[in-house]
Structure 1
Amino acid sequence: MTGWPDDDVILYDGVCVFCSRWVRFVIARDAARRFRFTPIQSDYGTRLARAFGIDPGDPDTNAVVHGGIAYMKSDAALTVLSMLPRWGWTRMLFAVPKPLRDAVYNLVARNRYKIFGKYETCFVPDADMRARVLE
């Protein structure tokens, strides 16, 4: 998909503990404040998910819009990581075949609630983070 009006937006599962930690990880390292975030459970996140063909009721991937293009699964994670200071080295992981990268991604995604847990509702970001959340 191309042409999404907002850029550098990370779509994530807001009730997933692992996914919420991912957002905090990115925020802590994104000194340029490039990325914004939207939980899939928000109105904006649900619209974004549907536009990308992700089931908002059973999300199996996070996504990032960068340069007007939606990246999903391992491509999304590596795209974000590669743009963070001191994490540019992760670009070399794109050399790993996508089917292999996505197989690992899918294994974690399928088991994320069992391994990391699940919030009853979307986690509530602090004031600094709230300014970067699109709902």
Structure 2
Amino acid sequence: MPSSQTRPTPAPLLKPGETVVLFDGVCKLCNGWARFLIRHDHQRRVRLAAVQSPEGQALLAWAGLPVDQFDTMAVIRDRQYWERSDAFFEVIGQLSARWQPLRLLRIVPRRLRDWAYDRIALNRYRLFGKYDTCLLPNPDHEQRFLKITMPFVAKSEN
């Protein structure tokens, strides 16, 4: 099982058992990963949030991760979060059996996996490019993204 960090309180904004993937919303590689998850997570086990969004910022703060420097993907569920290669394996574990052979890569020692992950993450803009702003989800994919819902407050009449 991938190594996770545990927090004393459940993650905000998530329903019990709900999994969210935090990704860099301006990174072309990261957006490709988000599109991959939308396309292949047929059971809708994973939700998405850009780290630059209010939802992403709240979850980063909850996990004690930097809110202004985005060098890793994070996966959050309940009181746990995973980073780097462990986050990748946690997400793959949520996908159909077709993708499970990728989990065999866990036999590679974590230090080596994370070293390779860091090399790509730290050079992702140079290697894959960057958008000027976070891309907005397509309307048919919008429900896949975590959103803060504000409660309706009726205005009093004066």
TM-score by length of 2: 0.80
Match of 1:101 among 108, 113, 126: 113
In 1: Cα distance, 2:132 partner to 2:94 partner:
31
In 1: Cα distance, 2:56 partner to 2:48 partner:
9
Match of 1:22 among 29, 33, 40: 33
For the aligned residues, what is the CA RMSD? Answer: 1.4
Q: Displacement of 1:100 after TM fit?
A: 0.5
Residue of structure 1 equivalent to 2:94:
83
**Is the 8 Å Cα contact of residues 82 and 90 (structure 1) preserved in structure 2?**
no
In 2: Cα distance, 1:33 partner to 1:109 partner:
26
What letter matches 2:123 in structure 1? N
**Is the 8 Å Cα contact of residues 71 and 121 (structure 2) preserved in structure 1?**
yes
Tell me which protein shows more helix as a share of its residues. Answer: 1
Q: Displacement of 1:39 after TM fit?
A: 0.5
Residue of structure 1 equivalent to 2:22:
11
Structure 2 unpaired stretches of 5+:
1-5, 148-158
**Is the 8 Å Cα contact of residues 13 and 59 (structure 1) preserved in structure 2?**
yes
In 2: Cα distance, 1:48 partner to 1:39 partner:
10
| Mapping 1:31-70, distance limit 5 Å | 31-66=42-77, 68-70=79-81
TM-score by length of 1: 0.93
Aligned length: 135
Structure whose alpha-carbon radius of gyration is higher = 2
**Is the 8 Å Cα contact of residues 9 and 65 (structure 1) preserved in structure 2?**
yes
Q: Displacement of 1:117 after TM fit?
A: 0.7
